[in-house]
Structure formats: structure tokens, C-alpha cells
């Protein structure tokens, strides 16, 4: 028995961009899907724009509005709506899916093994018309995010999860922070389930000025606990020594910026002891550099 494909969009003040995604969903060859839109406390006209979509009754749309807490908290909210046999695909407001995207996703969902928890699909940047990845696979590959990191693979595509893989996995939430890297959830899922990297592209994107991707390191520095948690997960042995050392340096830098004791970190689920202690000093130097570059008052 298979559930449905569920498209999840977390949106913050991006109401005007939702029209393009909505139109691409209207054009799907397979209409057996649900669209969950989580409005993360937008101050624009997102609510009224989504209402106009719902009034047409052309798509099965669930709209949830919540207090602003960041994309990861919005996705967690949507995950509460998911059944074990559903397949979730995360699609941002500025993205548009190809007409056969749901059809492709549905085929993967129905043909995957029970040890598969997540699937990554390629996406194309509209301005360059190129797949956002290096290298680009010619065939599907089954592995995990830790091997992905070890091999230096770059891919910024669509991540999808089986409902059963999300049953006990959510993005962590830290007080006074609003950002956790998307791959944190994948790393948690990959501790039990495998990842399929599909060779198929299912949609397009256009990076927005002021968007999460464009904010880069500065966004992570302003959310150091999320950054530190990410680095501790990358101490997995499958990552290899080079990656573990690199992310130990970054992890200690985030720790100094977070200004939390080891005991305080332990209470919120961050295992600082997983980082390589020989990287403490380089981490402190890096933290001071970041503080000057990203946090100083101008």
C-alpha cells in the first residue's frame, strides 16, 4: 500500500513567488499529490494569495500559518501532517517543477526498497540552465550523506523523505535561533536509512537576493548552535579523517560564538566531545575572524 506524494513549501514573505510554483503544480501529469504550504509568520499577502489558490479547488492544498521560527521549524510543522506511507518532497517558493516531476517521484516511491529513507533529485538554475551539481551522475546511486561529504560531491537539489523515515526524525530547534542546515535532517535519517541520489532533474530554481542560499556563512554564524550541531553529526566515521578534522575546527568556532558550556550543550542534545580536541585553537582563531567579519557593529 502506497500513500501520496506530498509537496511541502515553507514560505516567509515570498507570497509573490508562490504563483510560479502553483502554476507548475497545476501542469503536473500526475495529480495524485497534496501541497502543504507553511507560512512562517509572513508579513506580506501570502495568506490571501494561498486562499486564491484554494478557492479554485484545482489542487489539494493545506495551508498552515505559524509564528516565525525559521524554515526548519516550518518544515517540522508540516511533517506532523505526514503519514508513514507518504513521500515528502521539499520545494521552495522560488522553485518550479517540471510537468512530469510528481510522476517521476511517484515511480521512485513505488519502486524503492524498505531501507531507503530519502531521495535526492537534481534541479536546474534557470539563469544558467545548468544542473546545480558537480559531478553530475549518469545513473542513480545509493549511499549516504557521510560518503557524499567524504567524496566532495556538490549537489543542491530537491530532498525527499519517506514518511516512515520522518516518524522519529525532525530538525533540532534551538532557543533564539532560526536556521539549521537542510542536510542535518538527512544525516539523522541516514543513521538508519540509505539515500538514493537520482540522476533525474525535476525542476528549476532562481536564487533570491536575501534568500537562505545567498546569506551563506553569515547566516550560520548568526545561528551558531545549529552550525555546531551540524559539525558534530559530521564526526561520523564514514566521513573520513579529513572531513572530521575540518568540521571539528568549524564546530569549535561555532561553540565559541554560542558561548555555551559543555554541560549546557549536552542538555540541548549537542555532543561537543565528538569534536577533535586538537582543533580547539584553530577553531578559536576562526571564531574571532567570523566575529569580526559577520557580527561587528558597522
pLDDT digits (tens, 9 = 90+) for 234-243: 999 999 999 9
CB distance 68 to 87 below 8 Å: no
Q: What is the pLDDT of residue 135?
A: 95
The pairing of strands 194-205 and 141-143 is antiparallel
**Which pLDDT tens digit goes with each residue over 131-179?**
999 999 999 999 999 999 999 999 999 999 999 999 999 999 999 999 9
Residue 74: its H or E element = helix 71-79
Q: How far is CA 102 from CA 24, 25, 28, 108, 148, in A?
A: 11, 9, 7, 10, 25
Q: Look up cell 568540521; give the residue.
A: 247
Angle subtended at Cα 77 by Cα 76 and Cα 79, rounded to the nearest 5 degrees: 60
118: nearest Cα among 170, 57, 166: 166
Q: What is the pLDDT of residue 208?
A: 66
Q: What is the pLDDT of residue 210?
A: 57
Cα end-to-end span (Å), the chain: 58
Q: Look up cell 518544515; give the residue.
A: 75
Q: What is the pLDDT of residue 196?
A: 98
- Residues 252 and 249: their CA atoms lie apart, in Å, by 5
Residue 286: its H or E element = helix 280-290
Confidence of residue 102 (pLDDT cuts 50, 70, 90): very high
**Which pLDDT tens digit goes with each residue over 182-206?**
999 999 999 999 999 999 999 999 8
**Total-model pTM:** 0.95
Q: Look up cell 566575529; give the residue.
A: 291
What is the DSSP-derived secondary structure letter of residue 239? G
Q: What is the pLDDT of residue 213?
A: 56
Number of alpha carbons in the 13 Å side-chain half-sphere of residue 20: 16
CB distance 268 to 226 below 8 Å: no
pLDDT exceeds cutoff 60 at 22: yes
Output the nine-digit C-alpha cell for 267.
542538555
Q: What is the mean pLDDT of the chain?
A: 95
Q: Which residues make Cβ contacts (< 8 Å) with residue 53, sequence separation at least 6?
A: 18, 22, 59, 61
CA-CA-CA-CA torsion sign (236, 238, 239, 242): positive
Across 93-117, average pLDDT: 97
Give percent of the chain above pLDDT 90.
Answer: 94
Number of alpha carbons in the 13 Å side-chain half-sphere of residue 249: 11
Confidence of residue 29 (pLDDT cuts 50, 70, 90): very high
| Tally of CB atoms within 10 A around 231 | 26
Q: Which value, in Å, is the radius of gyration of the alpha carbons in the chain? A: 19
pLDDT exceeds cutoff 90 at 214: no
Q: What is the pLDDT of residue 2?
A: 76
- Residues 157 and 203: their CA atoms lie apart, in Å, by 9
Q: What is the pLDDT of residue 1?
A: 64
Across 114-134, average pLDDT: 96
- Residues 271 and 232: their CA atoms lie apart, in Å, by 7
Specify burial of residue 158 (Cβ count, 10 A radius: 0-12, 13-18, 19+): buried
Output the nine-digit C-alpha cell for 117.
529513507
**Which pLDDT tens digit goes with each residue over 242-287?**
999 999 999 999 999 999 999 999 999 999 999 999 999 999 999 9
What is the DSSP-derived secondary structure letter of residue 98? -
Amino acid at each position: 500500500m502506497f500513500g501520496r506524494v506530498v509537496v511541502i513549501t515553507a514560505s516567509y514573505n515570498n507570497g509573490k513567488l508562490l504563483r510560479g510554483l502553483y502554476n507548475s503544480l497545476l501542469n503536473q501529469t500526475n495529480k495524485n499529490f497534496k501541497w502543504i504550504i507553511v507560512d512562517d509568520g509572513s508579513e506580506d499577502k501570502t495568506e490571501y494569495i494561498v486562499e486564491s489558490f484554494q478557492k479554485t479547488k484545482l489542487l489539494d492544498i493545506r495551508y498552515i500559518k505559524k509564528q516565525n521560527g525559521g524554515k526548519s521549524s516550518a518544515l517540522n510543522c508540516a511533517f506532523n501532517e505526514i503519514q508513514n506511507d507518504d513521500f515528502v518532497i521539499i520545494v521552495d517558493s522560488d522553485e518550479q517543477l517540471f510537468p512530469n516531476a510528481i510522476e517521476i517521484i511517484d515511480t521512485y516511491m513505488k519502486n524503492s526498497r524498505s531501507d531507503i529513507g530519502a531521495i535526492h533529485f537534481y534541479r536546474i538554475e534557470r539563469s544558467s540552465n545548468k544542473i546545480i551539481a558537480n559531478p553530475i551522475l549518469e545513473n542513480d546511486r545509493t549511499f549516504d550523506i557521510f560518503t557524499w561529504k567524504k567524496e566532495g560531491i556538490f549537489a543542491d537539489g530537491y530532498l525527499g523523505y519517506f514518511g516512515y523515515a520522518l516518524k522519529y526524525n525532525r530538525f533540532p530547534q534551538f532557543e533564539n535561533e532560526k536556521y539549521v542546515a537542510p542536510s542535518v535532517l538527512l544525516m539523522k535519517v541516514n543513521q538508519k536509512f540509505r539515500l538514493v541520489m537520482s540522476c533525474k532533474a525535476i525542476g528549476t530554481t532562481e536564487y533570491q537576493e536575501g534568500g537562505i542560499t545567498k546569506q551563506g556563512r553569515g547566516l550560520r554564524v548568526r545561528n551558531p548552535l545549529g552550525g555546531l550541531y551540524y559539525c558534530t553529526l559530521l564526526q561520523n566515521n564514514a566521513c573520513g579523517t579529513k572531513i572530521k578534522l575540518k568540521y571539528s575546527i568549524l564546530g569549535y568556532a561555532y561553540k565559541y560564538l554560542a558561548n555555551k558550556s559543555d554541560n549546557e550543550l549536552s542538555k540541548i542534545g549537542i555532543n561537543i566531545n565528538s569534536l577533535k580536541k586538537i582543533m580547539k585553537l584553530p577553531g578559536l582563531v576562526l571564531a574571532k575572524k567570523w566575529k569580526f567579519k559577520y557580527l561587528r557593529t558597522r
